Amino acid sequence: MFKLKFLVCVTAVLALGCCKNNNKPKSFEILKAPPSEIVVELGETLSVVCAAHGNDMIDPVVYWVKNITAKHDRPGERIRVSGIGKAILYVEEVKAEDIDSYKCVIEDKCSGDKEEIIVDVVVPDETCEDVYGVGPVVYGATWHYKNWTAAVQDCLDKGLEIALPTSDEENAVLLANLKKSYDTHPNAQKFAHENWIWIGAHDMTHEGQWTSVITEELMSDVYAESKLPWGKNQPDNRKQPNNRFPEDQDVAGIHRGSGKWDDSFEHYKRPYACLCRPQ
């Protein structure tokens, strides 16, 4: 009984000593924060340092988590990379399965302070190149999250145009290219929970008059037989729940599984496709 009481007493003292500065804003200082994105080639070595120092007591625990999805909204899986004060995410030869979203977790077990730093490991886009088994494509997918306006601009920055089919045949080609890219491009594997891809149609100018962002022509004038491949009951111009965002659903996306279109909110972040130059 004496030993048990002594142990409880010592544990309590240690806990008080460890947490005596618990009211401070933060119990540790980050010494080395990894970048938010790291671009690597397959076969290269990946080495990412994450380090922190305890302000008063021992250094915090640092560890890495993988597979948090492209939206960074899943807890992920802790990998066997951890240490006191520092942990290095190291891959000697990067493979497709290493291209993922990670987070470095810095945690002080005493105070409960915790910080998570997101790191996206990606390969170069090479949007329209015959790489990773994609093969020659008419439309090149980019597996990064951007809102619709930023997606349109990124295609332009690459000297391309955002994808916008003008017939069922072109829509079928876009769908086939998206499926092939999703199955083979290393950047795509973390987008398993994202079904929609931005394309270049909008009705921002006049509600219900869907227009090409490239030419500003009405899609009803340029799409073969004027029958756009909308999904069931689309476009519906659905309002944001609780009116959190005032805008209407004024931009279009294509479902990467069915090829059907849907109207959506411009601020949503999704992958997108660009029209490649003829080879």
In terms of Cα–Cα distance, which of 162, 223, 172, 165 is closest to 198?
162
In terms of Cα–Cα distance, which of 139, 205, 207 is closest to 174?
139
What pLDDT shows up at residue 9? 33
CA distance 74 to 149: 26
Kindly give, in sequence order, each residue whose CB lies less than 8 Å from that of residue 151, ignoring residues fewer than 6 positions away: 142, 162, 198, 270, 272
Tell me the HSE value of 201 on the side-chain side, using a 13 A CA sphere: 27
What pLDDT shows up at residue 10? 33
Instruction: Give me the helices (H) in 58-209, please.
Output: 148-157, 168-184
Please state, in angstroms and as integers, the Cα–Cα distance from residue 19 to each residue in 9, 26, 111, following that order: 15, 12, 6
What pLDDT shows up at residue 165? 96
pTM over 0.85: no
Q: SS3 for 86-127, per residue?
A: EEEEEECCCCHHHCCEEEEEEECCCCCCEEEEEEEEECCCCC
C-beta neighbour count of 185 within 10 angstroms? 24
Assigned token pair, 87:
């942990």
What pLDDT shows up at residue 45? 98
Assigned token pair, 80:
């066997």
Tell me the HSE value of 199 on the side-chain side, using a 13 A CA sphere: 29
Instruction: Decide if 81 contacts 118 (C-beta within 8 A).
Output: no
| Secondary structure (3-state) at 156 | helix
For the chain, 279 residues long, give each residue's pLDDT as a single digit of tens.
434 333 333 333 344 345 444 455 678 999 999 999 999 999 999 999 999 999 877 899 999 999 998 889 889 999 988 899 999 999 999 999 999 999 999 999 888 899 999 999 999 988 898 889 888 899 999 999 999 999 999 999 999 999 999 999 999 999 999 999 999 999 999 999 899 999 999 999 998 899 999 999 999 999 987 789 999 988 888 765 556 665 789 999 999 999 999 999 999 999 999 999 875
CA distance 76 to 72: 9
